[in-house]
């Protein structure tokens, strides 16, 4: 079981209550970004492009609490940037625990051991450690050697201290399914509570645009990586979403299910696209043209997206949408998926990979260097040059 029973019950009660009241759009997970700065410069990240004056900004604990109360979602994910760089992150977490929100603090784990004493083990807090593969793959993804070993050591320490620990993994078109499966075994052996996997989304301003997955590439990869799962594997996501990744079920995006709040306000329409901001969550719900997003809309930016933050809320809503769906998910949970060999073949040819004009990438070497110097990032020169070398126009 990748999710505690108390959390499952809280989410189920919340969703069923919304359905009884016939509310069409409601949040499930609040993506709360208290800052954008980070101590890594990953080539696939779309957050590190902000200039230094933006990277200096933090949401205050009061800002965070106001957004959480306004939104009302039962789960709060705290990504970034690197949240452990926030000087008041322990106050933010404590306030959310007091509100009985289930928190996933997303971290690259470089600072986890150093700051672990600031937190208390509780069912409401999970450290969600970013791991994009085994040692070679992960260190390449984050553009720095040695990060994998630090993360593994931090996971061991946190688990031994009694904390909930989950992992989040973003896969790209370079992923080897067999190596991914080995990573699942390794993480389960470490005592990780549950694993989350998702295909990478092509942030327009990410330095590396060549390794994002197309839709059919995603399905082929996840059929191999997740097919015939081992019994000791536990995933921190809905069984329906796992089936969606493999192309076994169709789901449509519900971007309002994972709204984002950061230093600019409420991000429209979702965590992955930046098309304006709203002052309040209700304004976000009422004024966003939701029909313009999702694969069914024909929006080219949504064509290949199969990312968890868009489709996991859909999967959860579908699960509790009817008795039939609930029983279907129960069968998947108890007996696993169908034999992958019986699934229809996917086309082997994908459409050409869309490339954004790299000359439009707004990150500059000066921005990254000034930010790195400001926050004393270790090995900053190498990380910056590595990330920027992939972003230079050809």
Domains and CATH numbers, the chain: 5-389 (3.80.30.10)
Q: Are strands 260-262 and 265-269 parallel, antiparallel or unpaired?
A: antiparallel
- pLDDT category of residue 212 using cuts at 50, 70 and 90: confident
Q: Using the Cα atoms of residue 187, residue 192, residue 198 and residue 201 in order, give the sign of their dihedral.
A: negative
Residues 309-317 have a mean pLDDT of 92
d(CA 375, CA 358): 27
Q: Are strands 164-171 and 194-199 parallel, antiparallel or unpaired?
A: parallel
Q: What is the 3-state secondary structure (H, E, C) of the chain?
A: CCCCHHHHHHHHHHHHHHHHCCCCCCCCEEEECCCCCCCCCCCCCCCCCCCHHHHCCCCCHHHHHHHHHHHCCCEEEECCCCHHHCCCHHHHHHHHHHCCCEEEEEECCCCHHHHHHHCCCCCCEEEEEECCCCHHHHHHHCCCCCHHHHHHHHHHHHHHCCCEEEEEEEECCCCCHHHHHHHHHHHHHCCCCEEEEEECCCCCCCCCCCCCCCHHHHHHHHHHHHCCCCCCCCECCCHHHHHHHCCCCCCCCCHHHCCEEECCEEEEECCCCEEEEECCHHHHHHHCCHHHCCHHHCCHHHCCCCCHHHHHHHHHHHHCCCHHHHHHHHHHHHHCCCCHHHCCCCCCCCCCCCCCCHHHCCCCHHHHHHHHHHHCCCCHHHHHHHHHHCCCCC
Q: What is the tens place of the pLDDT at every residue in 44-92?
A: 776 777 888 999 999 999 999 999 999 999 999 999 899 999 999 999 9
Q: Is 380 a residue whose pLDDT tops 50? A: no
Q: Are strands 29-32 and 102-107 parallel, antiparallel or unpaired?
A: unpaired
Which of 11, 24, 22 lies closest to 291, judged by CA? 24
Q: What is the tens place of the pLDDT at every residue in 130-151?
A: 999 999 999 999 999 999 999 9
Q: Using the Cα atoms of residue 283, residue 288, residue 290 and residue 293 in order, give the sign of their dihedral.
A: negative
Determine the pLDDT at residue 91.
98
Which position has the higher pLDDT, 382 or 35?
Answer: 35
Q: What is the tens place of the pLDDT at every residue in 179-206?
A: 999 999 999 999 999 999 999 877 665 5
Q: What is the tens place of the pLDDT at every residue in 321-374?
A: 766 666 777 676 666 555 454 444 555 444 443 333 333 333 333 433 333 333
- pLDDT category of residue 4 using cuts at 50, 70 and 90: confident
Q: Is the Cβ–Cβ distance between 219 and 171 less than 8 Å?
A: no
Residues 22-30 have a mean pLDDT of 95
Cα angle: 205, vertex 208, 211; to 5 degrees: 125
């Amino acid at each position: 079981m990748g999710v505690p029973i108390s959390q499952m019950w809280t989410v189920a009660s919340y969703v069923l209550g919304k359905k009884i009241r016939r509310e069409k759009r409601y949040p499930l997970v609040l993506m709360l970004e208290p800052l954008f700065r980070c101590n890594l410069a990953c080539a696939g990240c779309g957050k590190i492009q902000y200039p230094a004056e933006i990277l200096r900004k933090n949401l205050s604990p009061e800002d965070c609490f106001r957004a959480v109360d306004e939104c009302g979602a039962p789960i709060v994910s705290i990504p970034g940037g690197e949240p452990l760089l926030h000087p008041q992150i322990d106050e933010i977490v404590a306030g959310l625990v007091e509100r009985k929100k289930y928190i996933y603090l997303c971290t690259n784990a470089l600072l986890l051991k150093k700051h672990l004493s600031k937190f208390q083990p509780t069912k409401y807090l999970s450290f969600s450690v970013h791991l994009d593969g085994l040692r070679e793959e992960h260190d390449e993804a984050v553009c720095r050697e040695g990060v994998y070993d630090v993360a593994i050591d931090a996971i061991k320490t946190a688990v031994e201290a009694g904390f909930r620990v989950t992992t989040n993994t973003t896969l790209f078109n370079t992923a080897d399914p067999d190596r991914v499966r080995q990573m699942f075994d390794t993480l389960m052996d470490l005592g990780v509570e549950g694993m989350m996997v998702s295909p990478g989304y092509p942030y327009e301003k990410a330095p590396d645009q060549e390794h994002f997955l197309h839709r059919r590439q995603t399905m082929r990869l996840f059929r191999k990586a997740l097919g015939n799962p081992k019994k000791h594997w536990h995933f921190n996501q809905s069984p329906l979403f796992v089936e969606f990744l493999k192309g076994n079920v169709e789901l449509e995006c519900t971007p309002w299910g994972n709204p984002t709040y950061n230093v600019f306000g409420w991000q429209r329409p979702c965590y992955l696209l930046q098309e304006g901001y709203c002052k309040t969550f209700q304004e976000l719900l009422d004024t966003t043209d939701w029909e313009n997003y999702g694969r069914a809309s024909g929006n080219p930016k949504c064509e290949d997206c199969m990312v968890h933050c868009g489709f996991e809320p859909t999967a959860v809503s579908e699960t509790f949408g009817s008795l039939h769906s609930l029983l279907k998910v129960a069968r998947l949970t108890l007996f696993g998926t169908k034999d992958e060999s019986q699934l229809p073949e996917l086309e082997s040819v994908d459409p050409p990979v869309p490339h954004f004009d790299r000359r439009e990438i707004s990150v500059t070497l000066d921005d990254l260097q000034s930010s790195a110097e400001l926050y004393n990032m270790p090995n900053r020169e190498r990380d910056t040059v590595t990330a920027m070398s992939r972003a230079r126009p050809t």
